[in-house]
Amino acid sequence: MSSNKRLFWWLVAPGAIFLILFLILPLASIVVFSFWRTESYTLIPDWNLDNYIRILTDWTYIKFLLRSLSMATIVSLICLVFSWPIAFFIARYGGKFKLIYLLLTSAPFLTGEILRVTALQQILGPIGVINMALSTFGFEPIQALMYTNTATAIGLTYLWIPFMVLAIYLSLLNFDFELLEVAKVNGARPLRAFWEITWPLNRAGSAIGVVLVFIPTLASSITSKFLGGPNGALYGNILANQFGSTGTWALGSAMGVVLFAISLIVLYIVWKMVGDLKRSGVTIKGGAEL
């Protein structure tokens, strides 16, 4: 082994070992627990498939899973559609303000989910400012904003749209905007130039963005708990319950494994749709490919 290679491994080993120990092993452990059963708050190594059978045949679990899946699909698509023009603008016309635009886009994300949801409750809820203003000025309040799935969808878009903008922006970093000028000279209208040049060359950013929004939305529990109201529970809420009051950890583990499996499937589908990642511009200039 050359000395460079040895140094490489010495440098990456601590982080790699850390991630294996504290991320991958725990995830593997819930796969094991998902085949056990829980009895009065204790896990019993009694191998069975009951947890999975329950999740995949009991309509209650399927219903919440379907609700979360459609929520995640809708929220990712909304984020995708709105983020594209924004990321495009920052990348193309941002000039020396690019960094400011990006930091302004990401700053709210760092405040944490719970305080952002608190702020949203003040806007959307029954006594939120929108409906208070409407009723103060003699209009009908908007029912859709008060503890509904719509409110949850708005909340989730609010939480995760920064990821989508960043992902698309990063894929546009290496995009040669001159190509659009060439297209224009040759008579292509802007929308056609977008569909035939910009989009195909930067699909990878969209794909990564969709996955980064889809996965946390699919698993979300806090937003729906505080914005979704009594009928707004999502799969994540039911999953969280297994580790809270009911204490059915084995079932909760199986729900977690199902969630993880769906995330992997989505990752795979999106990756397949994008095809060759390298051609689509996700490279760090200088050669290191990510």
Partner 1 sequence: MTALRIGKGVQILLLAALYVFLYGPIIYITYVSFQANSVWPFPPEFTAKHYISLWNEENYHSGFVNSLAIGIGTGVIASVLATMAAVAILKYRVRRSVYIAGLFLMPLFIAHILIGVSSLMFNKMLLGLPGNIFSAILANATYATAFAFLVVVAQLARYDWRLDEAAMVFGATPGTTFREVTFPLIWPAILGAFIVSFLLAFNNLEISFYNLGATPTLPTLAWGSLRHGVSEELYALAALINVAVFIFLGVMYVLLRTGVVRLDYKD
Among 41, 57, 59, 110, binds partner 1 (CB under 8 A): 110
Whether the CB-CB separation of 23 and 226 falls below 8 Å is answered with no
d(CA 114, CA 172): 32
Region of 51-59, 141-149, 199-207, 251-259 interacting with partner 1 (CB under 8 A): 251-259
Quick check: 188 binds partner 1 (CB under 8 A)?
no
- Mapping DSSP to helix (H, G, I), strand (E, B) and coil, where does residue 78 land? helix
Total residues at interface with partner 1 (CB under 8 A):
97
Among 71, 75, 102, 168, binds partner 1 (CB under 8 A): 102
Closest approach of Cβ 57 to partner 1, in Å?
A: 23
Closest approach of Cβ 220 to partner 1, in Å?
A: 8
- Pattern 120-149, partner 1, x by CB under 8 A: xxxx---x-x--x---x-------------
Quick check: 158 binds partner 1 (CB under 8 A)?
yes
d(CA 38, CA 249): 6
Quick check: 117 binds partner 1 (CB under 8 A)?
yes
Closest approach of Cβ 264 to partner 1, in Å?
A: 9
Quick check: 40 binds partner 1 (CB under 8 A)?
no
Quick check: 230 binds partner 1 (CB under 8 A)?
no
In terms of CB distance, is 61 or 226 closer to partner 1? 226
Quick check: 187 binds partner 1 (CB under 8 A)?
no
From residue 98, give the alpha-carbon distance in Å to each of 72, 80, 101, 244.
29, 20, 5, 44
Phi, psi of 140, rounded to the nearest 5 degrees: -75, 135
CB atoms inside a 10 Å sphere around CB 76: 26
Angle between helices 149-172 and 113-124 (to 10 degrees): 130
Residue 94, classified by CB atoms within 10 Å of its CB into exposed (0-12), middle (13-18) or buried (19+), is middle
Q: Which residues, in sequence order, are CB contacts of 151 under 8 Å at separation 6+?
A: 120, 124, 125, 144, 145, 227, 228, 229, 232
- Pattern 42-61, partner 1, x by CB under 8 A: -x------------------
Among 65, 75, 168, 239, binds partner 1 (CB under 8 A): 239
Quick check: 206 binds partner 1 (CB under 8 A)?
no
* Residues 275, 281, 287, 290, CA torsion sign: negative
Among 209, 232, 256, 281, binds partner 1 (CB under 8 A): 256
